[in-house]
Each structure stands twice: as structure tokens, then as C-alpha cells.
Amino acid sequence: MSFDTSKTMSNPVVTVREGKLRGAVKDLLDGSKYYSFKGIPYAHPPVGKLRFKAPLPLKPWNGVLDAIEHGPVCPQNDLITQEKIDGSENCLFLNVYTKSLKPDSKIPVMVFIHGGGFVSGSGNTDMYGPEFLIQHDVVLVTINYRLEVFGFLCLDIPEVPGNAGLKDQVAALQWVKNNASQFGGDPENITIFGESAGGASVTYHMLSPMSKGLFHKAISQSGACLAGWAHQTNGKERAFKVGKYLGKETNDPYELLDFLQSVPSDKLISIGFHVRTKGERLKEIPLIFTPVVEKFSNSEAFLTENPVDILTAGRFNKVPLMAGYNTAEGLVFVLPELRKLEIKNKFPSHFLPQQLMESISEEKALEFGSRLKQFYFDNEEITEDSMKILSDLLADRYIIYPVHRFVNFYAEHCKSIFMYRFNLSTKLNFLKIMLGFEAEKGASHGDDMFYMFKSSLTDDKFKENEKLVEYVNLITKLWTDFAKYGNPTPDNRWNVKWTSYSKSSKEYFNIDEKLSMGKTGEQDRMEFWDKLYIEAGLPASSKSNL
């Protein structure tokens, strides 16, 4: 038995493979109790000469480790406040929340991978409190992983091939698999879920041989590895730009590595913003250090092939998938774009994803750009008054089309897919309201998080608002039922059955004030992008004859 009964109920002690952990007992919203274990180390601290490298296994400890408070967050720039957060490079910690500590409880486990563009975020409770989800009898795990240059520097050498941040996530999943039963969890029923960069990470794990067997179901929210922002193709070149910016001129990757390992961590936070090219500033959201296709095929490699090639060949971890997007994803991208309208009116090809641009001639890019302006804006000048259409375009480019594309490829080889379209708009849509778009319809990128996690940002919204509690219970029930059964609507609770996705009908579940099933979401817009990709010689989906 891994529960130390010599301690009071307020200090449960659990024995994991590496040693003993002392947690805390907390209150759920209904007055019942749950166990909280925060700041659990899951890998060796990636500091000093281990900076930028894959995580190493954790060494066991003696005595009882306090798991009462969160561990430090990873060095980063907060995407909302634009504050630099020094955190600590010793940041590979996870948090476990459960209602049972009996090893034979076999409770489904949900592991959440936070978003933040691979540059920001943590698994901490200020944003990702567990109370809404674990009321449905699941074990919830939230994790930190290395961000931006710390997690995604690529030097194309065996020591730093890239993807250290994704390998951190793998190490966390291995820890969960090894230790889940000590927290009442079922190591044979683990669901990974994530939003934005976390959603893209989920889809990467589905493709990676490194992650095989570490999870049994996957939920990808508003993110897919096929999005341009979710991968980089010139990682080594960007690494040398960082060296140059910091005063190191060299062509030797080992010399550069030695130098970058000696730079104080605060000098590397947000370094990507300083080494962007003019084209990247104009055309892309500012995410520079992201996942790569690694050059070395070995057991330490996370990804050695282009994701599209893996998907079309069916060489991936075939698990039940739930995937979807918010209807007004693009609202978060609109304000920076308004500052670029002059040049984008003149050259609408700047709206095209880089992977598309790389596959076509300059002349074809201009043609595609003019077709895009015609399709979305009816060839009218794009102005601040075009904000709604601009939001739709940016949503399609960055989130919705990559998600549709991923699901279509996946559906060639796996039938257990549940797609959704999140359209709820209430006082919980924190990001939409914060950006000043409260009057706009739909849900902005990131708004769904506030229906799943208790957050200090929205705690006050629940006062005397029973409807919000109902929505939270609805969303968390759908998500946890998928984690339990591989089916988000196993009973007839809401008088609507969420049917699985097929390539022919493209069924989706509409999450709104009234639940309903629909087919071919954003059909005209998705077909427009499909045509561009096919004309560029890129797979739009495995079998498409548009």
C-alpha cells in the first residue's frame, strides 16, 4: 500500500518509483475532498551542460519530498502580459490531482499539455485548476515542459537535434505510466489532451514512435502539427542567428553550443523575437523556436519524417481521437494584423502559409493571393471594418484548416474520431472579452479552457450564475466520458448523440447553447484552402478530387 497512514489526512504520503511524496488534501466544489500533489520532478534538471539536450531520467531521492507547492515555471515571456518570467531552468515538474489513492482504483487518467505557442505557459493552477474535471472521477495530470529556445533549439547535431520540449513531454508521460496506479489511476487508460501548441503537441505524440504505448486516447483542441506555426524548417540557421545576435560569430555548431550553454537564461528569453527576418515579421505569428524533423534516425529521435508523410502512410499511433476548434479562433490574431494592412492589401499573398509559398512560384503566389482576397473580401480593400472576415481568414489559416487537414488524413486509417465545433459565448470567454471583442459571436482561441479548468481569471464570473456551472459540467462531462469510454456521449443524457467523423460526411458536434450534430464545418472556406493546396501539389487530404 502506498498510502502512509501515520500522517494525518491533510498530508497524504505516496511512494512513487523515485521516492516518497507528501501532498495535501483540498476541497472540491461540492464539499468532497481530493488529493493534490504539486511540483513533482519527472526528469533530471536540464541545466548547465544539459541545456537544450533531451531530458535524462530522474535519480531517486531519500526521505519524503514535499509536493505541496508548484515547482518553478520554465523561463518564458508571458503571452498575455508580455512580462519576462525568469522562472528556472530546473522546471520539469508535473502536478497530480485525484480523489483516490488506492492503487487498485483504476481511474482513467487525463494528462494535459498546456498551450502558449511553445513559448509560454505552465501546468499551474492559476490557469489550470483541477476542480472541474476531477469531479467526474478522473485523475488529472498537468505538466511543465521547456519552452522556446530552451526546448526547441536545433543545431542538427546528435547532442542537440531539436524537440527537447517534446521529449520532456514524453518523459512526463513515461512517469505517468510508471506511477499512475499509486494515485488511483489506470496506467492502461491514459488520455492526452492539449490546447493550441498543446493540441499540436498531442498530434505530434500520435505520430512519434517515442510516444507509442504511453497513451490510449487523444484530444486535440485548436491545434495541429500541420499548422505552419507548429514547426520550423530552418532551425540550425536560426540557432546561428541567436549566436550572432548575442555576439558570437562562428560556423561551428559545437562552439555555438558551448557559447549558448554559458549565456545567462534571462538573456535567452524571447530571443526569437530578435532574430526574426523581415518576412517572418510580416507574414507569421512570432513563433520561431518550434518542433523540427530531426536529422538523426535513432531511438532518441522524436520525429524523423515530415508529419504529412507519416499521416498519409498511416505510420502512427492509432488511438481514438477527439479534435476540434473554436468558431472565432482568429480574434486573438486580428489586432497585430491590423498594423500590417497596408502591405497585405498590396500583397495579399502574405496571408498564405509558408509551406504553401515554398511549393509554388512567385507568380503563382501572387495569383493565389489575389484569389484569397477575392474569396474572403470580395476584392474590397481590407480595413478595420473587415475585422470579422479578417478573423475568419486568420482562424482558417492558423487553426481551422490545419485541424481539418489532420483529421482528414487521420480518418484514412482510423475510424474512431469525434470532431467538434465550439461556439459557446458567455462571461467565461475570457480572452474574447479581454481583447475587446465581447460583442462578436462565437468563441475565441483559448476561450474553451475556462470551461474546463478553474482559473483565477474567471473565478468571479460564477457568482449567482448557475448557467455557467451547467456549461462547465457539460463540457467536462463530454471530455471525461471520452477519456473513460472513447465516446463523449455514451448515454442519452443530452438527447443528442455525438456520432463519429467520416471523410464523406465530415460530421461534427456543435457545442453551443443548444447541442446539435452538423456536417462539413466551414465547408466553403475549407474547400477553398483544399484547392490551393492541391494546385500547389500538396496533399489536401489523402483522397481529394476538388
**Residues forming the active site:** 196, 329, 445
Q: In the numeric block, which cell numbers belong to residue 476?
A: 467536462
Q: Which residue has the higher pLDDT, 543 or 376?
A: 376
Torsion of CA 356, 207, 401, 344, to 10 degrees: -40
Contact 140, 133 (CB under 8 A): yes
Distance CA 222, CA 322 (A): 11
How far is Cα 190 from Cα 108, in angstroms, rounded to an integer? Answer: 6
- For residue 217, pLDDT over 70 is answered with yes
**Per-residue pLDDT at 348:** 94
What is the spatial distance between Cα 238 and Cα 310, in angstroms, rounded to a whole number?
A: 26
Does the reported pTM lie above 0.85? yes
Question: Residue ranges per domain, the chain?
Answer: 13-328+393-536
Range with top average pLDDT, 79-83, 164-168, 283-287:
164-168
pLDDT tens, position by position, 49-64: 999 999 999 999 999 9
Percent of the chain predicted with pLDDT > 90: 87
- How high does pLDDT run on average in the chain? 94
Query: Measured in Å, how far apart are the chain's first and last C-alpha atoms?
Result: 60
Judged against a pLDDT cut of 50, whether residue 203 lies above it is answered with: yes
SS3 219: strand
Non-local (6+) Cβ contacts of 460 within 8 A are none
Per-residue confidence band for 283, with pLDDT thresholds at 50, 70 and 90: low
pLDDT (0 to 100) of residue 540: 85
The C-alpha cell of 99 is what? 480523489
In contact, 182 and 128? CB cutoff 8 Å: no
pLDDT score for 30: 87
Q: Which amino acid is at 334?
A: V
Type and span of the H or E element at 134:
helix 131-134
8 A C-beta contact, residue 160 and residue 506: no
Q: What is the CATH number of domain 13-328+393-536?
A: 3.40.50.1820
Name every residue whose Cβ is closer than 8 Å to that of residue 368 and which is 6 or more positions away in sequence.
Answer: 349, 352, 356, 360, 532, 535, 536
Q: Are 356 and 533 in contact, with CB atoms under 8 Å apart?
A: yes
Nearest residue to 213 (alpha-carbon basis) of 317, 107, 320: 317
